[in-house]
Chain A
């Protein structure tokens, strides 16, 4: 194949095979080769495709220095960039819908925790996770201002991250906590158990209320009990069968349990910067998430509430994400005012 037709990567590989080294020196292309190795055709290619080669080398250099934690959901835009910590599952996609609703002018980076990729190990302390994110953010964008966001249990990491960045002199315009769980420092397990049981009971009560007759309600309850029993039987049977491990699911499970343990251990300390707390709905104030407790460490926090039927688990997904994006705009508009 003619050298003219081959992609830059292949051209460079062809050169490398002949021990011809090519590198960028600002806007110049430099080349070091064994005497005689640079044929006229190679020279012509290097000259004619100089810009193309420089672009490739620049991209390769950037990729080599990349910060794995910074996942650009939307890298364009002129507004203050948002760096957002997902919940305990660590999925950067959590913010995809919200980012879309915030538009093309709002840079939005999800933060991928160590351990999410299945290669590195998950970190065991919220402070360490926040430190890791802080380093990656500063490497990626050395100067602020930043907006730091967090969802669910990731809110604690976001809170800590904002403090670390602030302590290092970076300008953190605002910390936005979406449906945050307050770390259950005192009543760890009982509170979580209560929270979980209550949400279950409420969900069942809602379903029962939808049934028009007593018979239909009875059918629903018995059907649910039956399903639960069947699940238990299946689970019991599956215990006896060898399980084929899925590395992606395994790493997620490990990250999840480590992140939850880190979250439970975390004790937030007072923060004087601006904090906006976006709750799925007003009922969330009475939930086990203990949202009001954030006022102990962020006494000036502002609260914003989503629609009555918005649920915490899906508040950042469509269709709820649009209302939550509106709340974000409102919160940051105040900031600009």
Chain B
């Protein structure tokens, strides 16, 4: 009897990780240990800067300015006022203000009092603020939080939910407070801020960041982005978006200047253009969507030298355009990081000659950060294998405020992927990634954008990444919908290798590609482009061209605001021709009913329209009944288009009826051609 072959000889199994790969992708890649003042808080670092440059301009808004000393004194007064109302370590103050010098004073004041601040965007709806305030109250033994706001926003806050400090109205009481610093109250382990992000259940979740994590990030950011220079930074993006944390603190620990810009709520795109036109800043941090708006501006005389881009996939083409549009050398950084890992935990400096892929790489881990791509059971994956990205290191959040269950779920203790027997705290990002053959990390979208369509697991991020490689598609979003409800389906949370269909039981899941293009494209173009790299099951059924993608206030694509695909906005396939013969019309009606589609053209393919497994059998069963013919499953595979199958049905009908005897008597004639 033969022996079973050993694995090595008999298998071409996809390996998990070879030793050399493990050393390169797990150990060396994460050799990021760097010293930073871990025993100090962000307030300590600010005060040290005040000592170094007390008379330098720290912040400007229009013509109003404050020096470092003045900002320090004003925030000392703020802290004293807050302390007098009982604020201190363990307490939370919500900062609900428009962009202003006062908002920076308020944030520094809260931190100096030892409390944590919760930034809430001025455009936040009343209902959402109420949810956040109740959450804070529930998490602090029912104690109402303090809300620092301005006269114009005060009415949005229900007095029953918070103690309200109206900063502009109460200014006289602040000016009465001592300008000298109170005793240090903040500690490295204490919470610096809590940022509420949208939760999958619809309830915002608060991400709690400690001073030590904040200091680790800002110290690193100051080193990478400023190199000791006191640069001018525009404060314009939403304070509730952690991308703004960089702009808020980095200049203040290195002698830079914050230039405040106030935009209309929801109109931050316009503010970006104003910043460019003002030409008063050296460095800007923004999303790719905002940067795309800058592209067409005249940048020939801009003083901007550095761009930090984060929040979404950053297209190489955009980075290239910006680099070329500015005559002097510019530094463009792609910074990746979830709120749960303190703003940014990976960095790549764009290189116009080397970065030739469609997207700018997300690069290498930041200081004191570990980045791991893990498969099931927390095993590091090998090159080419899709895994989920996990983050470790000093930047990890303390957890989710008042959500121990969610904290347990997303922040996990697991065996250190670098080896050994120690456990490591890892944040499960929900982002999919894989190592390419060159040893770079490729970002493949969200794991919760993994859906099941026609029985196949589909990564929406992978489809989007491919679509964005089309030279004329700068922006896109792919969603799964259920045709019976025709609304973007709720994306279900999924683990690697496990996913559930987003389709409700009464619907059929279909993929819809929304895209913006620089010139008109046909569906055939798009399908052909996608089919070059994607499996058939990953090719979207519908294509909806948009003038621009809807954006959230954070500048990210607002998937919830994507229009419902309808007969009016779905782009017709170029060769759409209506069914013409009676058989085609009958068959089209049958398919439409079965596939829940409004119209089907002669050249439409049953499988492309979402026909799979059970639907195929139902189609065969109904065709038999409707045409009273022995239609077989194989016929659908042989002739999957409407016209093709209709012709075959006509052929069957002909074959079934042609054998009869002659109806008429009398003489006959025969011809041969």
Q: How far is the CA of A213 from the CA of B638 in the complex (A)?
A: 54
Q: Mark B595-623, 1 if CB is under 8 A from A, else 0.
A: 00000000000000000111011101100
Contact string against B for A residues 295-319, beta-carbon threshold 8 Å, 1 for contact and 0 otherwise:
1000111111111111000000111
Which residue from B5, B621, B647 sits with its C-beta under 8 Å from A59? Answer: B647
| A209 lies within 8 A of chain B by Cβ | yes
- Does A59 lie within 8 Å of B412, measured CB to CB? no
Contact of B634 with A70 in the complex, beta carbons under 8 Å: yes
Q: How distant is the Cα of A128 from the Cα of B624 in the complex, in angstroms?
A: 26
CB < 8 Å: which of B497, B581, B634, B668 contacts A309? B497
- Give the residue of A34, A72, A100 whose beta carbon is less than 8 angstroms from that of B536: A100
Separation of A305 and B613 alpha carbons in the complex (Å): 28
> Contact between B13 and A216 (Cβ–Cβ < 8 Å)?
no
Do residues A72 and B638 form an inter-chain contact, with CB atoms below 8 A? yes
Knowing A29-B673, A303-B10, A319-B457, say if A60 contacts B655 (CB, 8 Å): yes
The residue on A at minimum CB distance from B5 is: A303
Question: When the two chains form the complex, which single residue of A31, A56, A100 contacts B654, counting CB atoms closer than 8 Å?
Answer: A56
* B655 in contact with A9 (CB, 8 Å): no
Known contacts A9-B650, A35-B666, A97-B456: A16-B583 contact under CB 8 Å: no
The reply on A171 being an interface residue by CB < 8 A is no
Within 8 A of A (CB), among B1-35: 1-2, 4-5, 7, 10-16
List A contacts of B4 (CB < 8 A): 285, 292, 303
Is B414 interfacial (CB-CB < 8 Å)?
yes
Q: Cβ of B2 and Cβ of A295 under 8 Å apart?
A: yes
Interface members, chain B 631-673 (any A CB < 8 Å):
632-635, 637-638, 647-648, 650-658, 662-664, 666-673
Cα A275 to Cα B671 with chains together (Å): 56
Cβ–Cβ contact A212 & B12, under 8 A: no
Contact A29 to B11, CB < 8 A, known contacts A213-B408, A216-B408: no
**Cβ contacts A29-66/B at 8 Å (1 or 0 each):** 11111110010000100110010000011011101101
Which residues of B lie under 8 Å from residue A71 when comparing CB positions? 633-634, 637
Given A23-B658, A248-B617, A300-B2, check contact A308 B13 (CB 8 Å): yes
Residues from chain A with Cβ under 8 Å of B1 in the complex: 295, 299
Minimum CB distance partner of A54 in chain B: B673
Query: A21, A75, A282, A295: which contacts B11 (Cβ < 8 A)?
Result: A282
Taking CB as reference atom, which chain B residue is nearest A304? B10
Given A16-B658, A330-B12, decide whether A34 and B634 contact each other with a Cβ distance below 8 A: no
List B contacts of A282 (CB < 8 A). 7, 11
Interface size on A, residues (CB 8 A): 84
- Chain A residue numbers with a CB within 8 Å of B667 are 34-35
The 10 A-B pairs at the shortest CB distance, nearest first, are namely A9-B650, A60-B651, A305-B11, A64-B655, A307-B14, A212-B412, A307-B13, A29-B673, A60-B655, A35-B667
B13, A281: Cβ atoms closer than 8 Å: yes
CA distance A264 to B618 in the complex (A): 30
The answer to whether B655 and A63 touch across the interface, beta carbons within 8 angstroms, is yes
- Expressed in whole angstroms, the Cα–Cα distance for A308 and B11 within the complex equals 10
The 8 A CB mask of A1-17 against B (1 = contact, 0 = none) is 00000011110110010
Q: Is B377 an interface residue (CB 8 A)?
A: yes
The CA-CA distance from A19 to B670 in the complex, in Å, is: 12
Q: Once the chains bind, are B613 and A93 in contact (CB under 8 Å)?
A: yes
Q: Tell me how far the C-beta of A120 lies from the nearest C-beta in chain B, rounded to whole angstroms.
A: 11
Across the interface, which residues of A come within 8 angstroms of B5, CB to CB? 302-304
A16-B658, A116-B617 given; 15 more Cβ-contact pairs under 8 Å: A12-B654, A13-B654, A29-B673, A30-B673, A33-B669, A33-B670, A60-B658, A68-B630, A72-B634, A118-B621, A247-B621, A302-B5, A307-B14, A318-B535, A318-B537
Q: A47-B673, A112-B633, A305-B13 are in contact. Are A64 and B652 (CB under 8 A)?
A: yes
Question: Does A326 interact with chain B (Cβ within 8 Å)?
Answer: yes
A306 touches B663 (CB 8 A): no
Decide if B11 touches A306 in the complex (CB within 8 Å).
Answer: yes
Q: CB of A259 within 8 A of chain B?
A: no
B671 and A63 form a contact (CB under 8 A): no
Q: Is A239 an interface residue (CB 8 A)?
A: no
Query: Nearest chain B CB to A47's CB is how many angstroms away?
Result: 6
A-B contact pairs, 28 of them (CB 8 A): A9-B653, A19-B662, A19-B664, A31-B672, A32-B670, A34-B668, A35-B667, A56-B647, A60-B654, A64-B655, A66-B634, A66-B635, A68-B632, A71-B637, A72-B638, A117-B632, A118-B621, A248-B614, A248-B617, A282-B7, A285-B4, A295-B2, A301-B2, A303-B4, A305-B7, A306-B13, A318-B456, A318-B535
Asked if residues B2 and A66 are in contact (CB atoms below 8 Å), the reply is: no
Q: How far is the CA of A117 from the CA of B617 in the complex (A)?
A: 7
Instruction: Tell me if A323 is interfacial: C-beta within 8 Å of chain B.
Output: yes
Return the CB mask of B162-182 against A: 1 if under 8 Å, else 0. 000000000000000000000
CB distance from B387 to the nearest CB of A (A): 11
B528 CB–A CB distance under 8 Å: no
The verdict on B54 contacting chain A, using a C-beta distance below 8 Å, is no
User: 0/1 per residue, A96-125, Cβ < 8 Å to B?
Assistant: 010010000000000010001111000000
The residue of chain B having its C-beta at the shortest distance from the C-beta of A74 within the complex is B637
- Residues of chain A lying within 8 A (CB to CB) of residue B55: none
Chain B positions within 8 Å of A118 at CB level:
617, 621
Q: Are A61 and B632 in contact, CB atoms less than 8 angstroms apart? A: no
Contact indicator A29/B672 (Cβ below 8 Å): yes
Contact B408 A215 (CB under 8 A): yes
Measured CA separation A33–B662 after assembly (Å): 9
Residue-wise interface mask of B (401-423) relative to A, using a CB-CB cutoff of 8 A (1 in contact, 0 not): 00000001100111000000000
The smallest beta-carbon distance between B500 and chain A, in angstroms, is 14
B668 contacts A32, CB within 8 Å?
yes
Are B647 and A9 interface neighbours, CB within 8 A?
A: yes
Report the separation of the CA atoms of residues A12 and B11 in the bound assembly, to the nearest whole angstrom: 57
Interface of chain B residues 483 through 529 with chain A (CB within 8 A): 497
